[in-house]
Amino acid sequence: MVKETIRVYARVKPLGRRQQAGSYSVDDEEDPLSSLEITVPRDLADGFVNNKRETYKFKFQKIFDQEAKQDVVFDSIAKPVAECVLAGYNGTIFAYGQTGSGKTFTITGGAERYSDRGIIPRTLSYVFDQLQKDSSKMYTTHVSYLEIYNECGYDLLDPRHEASRLEDLPKVTIMEDSDQNIHLKNLSLQQATNEEEALNLLFLGDTNRMIAETPMNQASSRSHCIFTIHISSKEPGSATIRRSKLHLVDLAGSERVAKTGVGGHLLTEAKYINLSLHYLEQVIIALAEKNRSHIPYRNSMMTSVLRDSLGGNCMTAMIATLSIDKRNIDESISTCRFAQRVALIKNEAVLNEEIDPRLMIVQLKKEIQDLKDELELVTGKQRTSELTQEELLQLDELIETFLKDNDPDSTLDVGADMRKIKYCFIHMKQLVNHPTNSDKKLLSQDISEEEDTNKELRGEELKKLKHLLQQRDDEINILINMLKKEKKKAQDAVSQLNATSACSSALEQSVSINLEDRQSLSSCFSLKEAKDFSSSIHRLPFLSRQTGGKMSLGCQEAFEVFKRDHADSITIEDNKQLLKQRFAEVKCLGEKLNEVRSKINRLKGEITQRHIQRAALAVSSPSEELNMFDPVEEKLRMQIEEEKKSYKTMFNRFKGLKVEIEHLQLLMEKVKMKMQKDFEVWWSEEAKNLQHEKPEMVTSPNTVTAYPRFIKSLQHLPANSFSETTRVSPNEDPDGKNNSITFSNPTLKTRIPPSSSTSIPLTGDSQADADILAFIKARQRILQKKGLENK
Ligand code: ADP
Ligand code: MG
């Protein structure tokens, strides 16, 4: 059992260009903790923070200042926790701080550069690396990804869904068993056998998370996300399984409601979030207090889920993310205060071991067999589970003599054999319950002869006997069936065990570089794999969704322009270039690997040649010793070893590149999807503005928004425009009853003559034309705005 306090770290987000730094200083010299001092300017102290103090000092395990890189953060915070999880303990890392302070950046990572990947992808990489290195155990890994929003849980890894709203995802509920253990119903645990599969799942969850976020619900800042890696391990042949899980938690923004300045629907959400963080705080306070027996975990879903990860059996680390610009000083102080309370909690992590019942059966059977063998050795007799016919007869005789004997001191001695003792008891029981004719004679010899000769009674006895016989037969059959079943179960367990170990050894084999196996080698770097990377993205189920139909012309053109002007297009371009570079590198490496392989084969050929020559020499002049040391062969062998070494180094680099390419492609996909979402929002806003400007275009006075119609047209975007189409539901009007705006209204054409505003010819298709006009109008507005800005 390991007892230690929760480790609390702080990370300061780099300042934005227009932000003004608040006054703070970091002191790393103090041992063993670092301290952060925040100074509040007088004017702020008078206003926002209602007391006289000006400087605040907080202690942290370590403070990561603005320039700290993701790899350093991972090495200091996550690696030690991941190591504990690999050893069989539970672990939790959670990020706490106001919206925009860098929680998601720290936990998941930035969406642009490979080097910006956060704790989750780095931990996955580290964990799978370690698992691969340890061949002494058999490991199984699963991941789950839960989002909690407004006190409801949603499974982000649901592969069937093409979720466009959070509510489309499976709802996760909490169940508590009689031992007060928490179970999450409906949360899928997806198996991941390697880093690549786990990363794909992470991106599936992240994309679901992003898609589900609409302008109305900025879910990411108001929801908690918990990514969990579940590991179970077992030594071959052992019945003990170790299970551990690592929760990586991105909490909702901790900002106070008053500051967000929202109302209505959003306020309800903000309250919820604050409430659940408030409950988290209560749990933390209760845990930090000595002698508190009741910890209010049940108050919110999040505290229930993290129940065994906060105060219980867990290695826990917290990262307080701080946005130290002037305006956010008060929020940063309250984040630090929370962190100081968390630092007081002591956790007790214990190993999570349990017994596998199937393996237990196998072990017990073996033990029984060993004991039987031992007994045989001692008694000199072979012992089966059943008595022989001869032994049974002997016992019957002994029982009969015993019963007949009137001497009160007489005993029935069958020896120290449980089978015989049991048989005697059963026999006696039968005699008491169903005294048969002959037994009756035994039991009471002085019963008159007349009774024995009673024919009627005999018939009845016979019937009874037959019935008894039938009963025994049935019993025997049932027992035989049971035995057969047990035997089969035991066999299955053994064969399954064999299959598992065969499977894992096959896996190990395939992982280790087998230089002998030409086939697998050539397929290893035939560059087929490089192409596979690009298609791997389509393995994400919802990404393979086909977009049917055609996108309207206006919408398409608008999107092209939007794409060009979008800030993320630079990121996409950069990443494209990087990908190109990486592909070239992979190709080059593949070629080199091929060369090394041929070289090794050539050297091997030379050795064989050498063997043949020496054999021939031995035939022609037998005096030559065939087994004599051959320096030439030795040299060839050394060369092969060297080539193998360089092959291994190159192959490792090849694998690293593979992961990087995969990651970059997923990042690009994410950015593209984000762009598409931004476009939808922009497009719908433009449509709304247009509508306000030209109320006469609208046929119905009830019209609320043009949003649904544009979204409808977006659904027909061709596959090459985006890899994914998002549907955003018309929130204000779920039934769509009020969507009476029609751009095909003939008045539209007459009011805005196409020739005066654009050179794009109208198509004649009223819907497409309406979209074109809407787009032109929107573009004019933008140009106007730009013009104003330039002035
Ligand atoms: P949160 O999840 O706390 O709301 P984010 O992680 O989304 O905040 O961060 C907000 C913005 O700041 C993002 O654009 C993110 O890329 C950027 N950011 C946060 N932390 C860092 C950092 N340490 N280095 C560079 N950029 C950062
Ligand atoms: Mg976030």
Q: What is the DSSP string of 435-457?
A: --HHHHHHH-TTS-HHHHT-HHH
For residue 107, the SS3 value is: helix
The closest alpha carbon to 356, from 364, 348, 367, belongs to 364
337 CA distance to ligand 2 centroid (A)?
A: 21
pLDDT score for 310: 77
pLDDT score for 519: 38
106 CA distance to ligand 1 centroid (A)?
A: 8
Contacts of 327 (CB under 8 A, 6+ apart): 19
Mutate to test the pocket of ligand 1, among 71, 105, 224, 319 (most ligand atoms within 8 A of CB): 105
- Measured in whole angstroms, the distance separating CA 649 from the mean position of its chain's CA atoms is 30
257 CA distance to ligand 1 centroid (A)?
A: 21
Query: What are the 10-residue block averages of pLDDT along the chain, 791 residues in total?
Result: 79 83 79 86 56 80 95 97 92 94 95 92 97 93 94 87 74 86 90 95 90 60 91 88 93 72 57 76 83 84 85 84 89 92 79 72 82 79 78 89 87 84 88 68 47 66 81 73 72 62 41 36 39 37 37 71 79 87 91 92 90 82 67 89 92 90 88 82 76 52 37 40 34 37 31 35 54 64 60 47
Question: In ligand 1, which atom is closest to the CA atom of 70?
Answer: 23
Contact 234, 356 (CB under 8 A): yes
Q: DSSP for 251-267? A: PPP---HHHH---HHHH
Contact 307, 179 (CB under 8 A): no
Q: Counting ligands in written order, which one lies closest to the CA of residue 16?
A: 1
For residue 416, the SS3 value is: coil
CA distance from start to end of the chain: 69
Structural tokens at position 345 = 């909690």
56-58-63 Cα angle (round to 5): 125
**101 within ligand 1 shell (Cβ under 6 A):** yes
Distance CA 118, CA 107 (A): 5
**96 within ligand 1 shell (Cβ under 6 A):** no
The closest alpha carbon to 525, from 581, 587, 598, belongs to 587
**110 within ligand 1 shell (Cβ under 6 A):** yes
**237 within ligand 1 shell (Cβ under 6 A):** no
The closest alpha carbon to 157, from 120, 220, 208, belongs to 208
Residue nearest atom 15 in ligand 1 by C-alpha distance: 105
H or E stretch at 616? helix 568-620
Distance CA 529, CA 695 (A): 57
Query: Can you point out the beta strands (E) in 102-195?
Result: 138-149, 152-155, 171-176, 182-185, 190-191
103 CA distance to ligand 2 centroid (A)?
A: 5
**221 within ligand 1 shell (Cβ under 6 A):** yes
The closest alpha carbon to 445, from 495, 389, 406, 490, belongs to 406
pLDDT score for 584: 92
pLDDT score for 60: 95
106 CA distance to ligand 2 centroid (A)?
A: 9
**228 within ligand 1 shell (Cβ under 6 A):** no
Contact 66, 279 (CB under 8 A): no
H or E stretch at 649? helix 631-693
Distance CA 420, CA 385 (A): 11
Are β-strands 7-12 and 315-322 bridged in parallel, bridged antiparallel, or unpaired?
parallel
For residue 356, the SS3 value is: coil
Q: Counting ligands in written order, which one lies closest to the CA of residue 65?
A: 1
**108 within ligand 1 shell (Cβ under 6 A):** no
Q: Counting ligands in written order, which one lies closest to the CA of residue 209?
A: 2
Distance CA 346, CA 7 (A): 10
Residue nearest atom 11 in ligand 1 by C-alpha distance: 100
Give phi and psi for 7, each to the nearest 5: -85, 130
Which amino acid, one-letter code, is at 73?
V
The closest alpha carbon to 254, from 172, 325, 147, 328, belongs to 328
pLDDT score for 568: 78
- Residue 240 burial (CB count, 10 A): 15
Contact 748, 699 (CB under 8 A): no
Residue nearest atom 17 in ligand 1 by C-alpha distance: 102
502-504-509 Cα angle (round to 5): 95
221 CA distance to ligand 2 centroid (A)?
A: 5
Distances (CA, A) of 84 to 6, 121, 125, 246, 397: 14, 18, 16, 9, 67
> With b meaning 16 or more CB within 10 Å and e meaning fewer, what string describes 88-114?
bbbbbbbbbbbbbbbbbbbbbbbbbbb
pLDDT score for 745: 32
**103 within ligand 1 shell (Cβ under 6 A):** yes
Structural tokens at position 790 = 């330039």
350 CA distance to ligand 1 centroid (A)?
A: 35
Q: Counting ligands in written order, which one lies closest to the CA of residue 224?
A: 2
104 CA distance to ligand 1 centroid (A)?
A: 7
Distance CA 5, CA 355 (A): 30
Phi-psi region of 549 (alpha: psi -120 to 50; beta: other; left: phi over 0): left
Mutate to test the pocket of ligand 1, among 13, 71, 106 (most ligand atoms within 8 A of CB): 13
67 CA distance to ligand 2 centroid (A)?
A: 20
pLDDT score for 168: 82
Maximum alpha-carbon separation in the chain: 133
668 CA distance to ligand 2 centroid (A)?
A: 19
The closest alpha carbon to 553, from 430, 410, 440, 716, belongs to 716
- Measured in whole angstroms, the distance separating CA 752 from the mean position of its chain's CA atoms is 55
323 CA distance to ligand 1 centroid (A)?
A: 9
Contact 108, 319 (CB under 8 A): no
pLDDT score for 5: 77
**64 within ligand 1 shell (Cβ under 6 A):** no
Contact 25, 13 (CB under 8 A): no
**104 within ligand 1 shell (Cβ under 6 A):** yes
DSSP state of 623: T
Query: 3 forms bridges with which residues in the sheet?
Result: 348
Question: In ligand 1, which atom is closest to the CA atom of 250?
Answer: 2
Question: In ligand 1, which atom is closest to the CA atom of 68?
Answer: 23
Distances (CA, A) of 388 to 380, 382, 392, 412, 484: 16, 11, 6, 19, 21
Give phi and psi for 124, each to the nearest 5: -60, -45
CA atoms in the 13 A half-sphere facing the CB of 460? 9
For residue 373, the SS3 value is: helix
761 CA distance to ligand 2 centroid (A)?
A: 45
Contact 239, 367 (CB under 8 A): no
Question: In ligand 1, which atom is closest to the CA atom of 11?
Answer: 23
Question: In ligand 1, which atom is closest to the CA atom of 16?
Answer: 12
Query: Can you point out the beta strands (E) in 313-416?
Result: 315-322, 346-349, 353-355
Contact 432, 444 (CB under 8 A): no
Q: Is pTM, for the whole model, over 0.75? A: no
> With b meaning 16 or more CB within 10 Å and e meaning fewer, what string describes 485-519?
eeeeeeeebeeebeeeeeebeeeeeeeeeebeeee
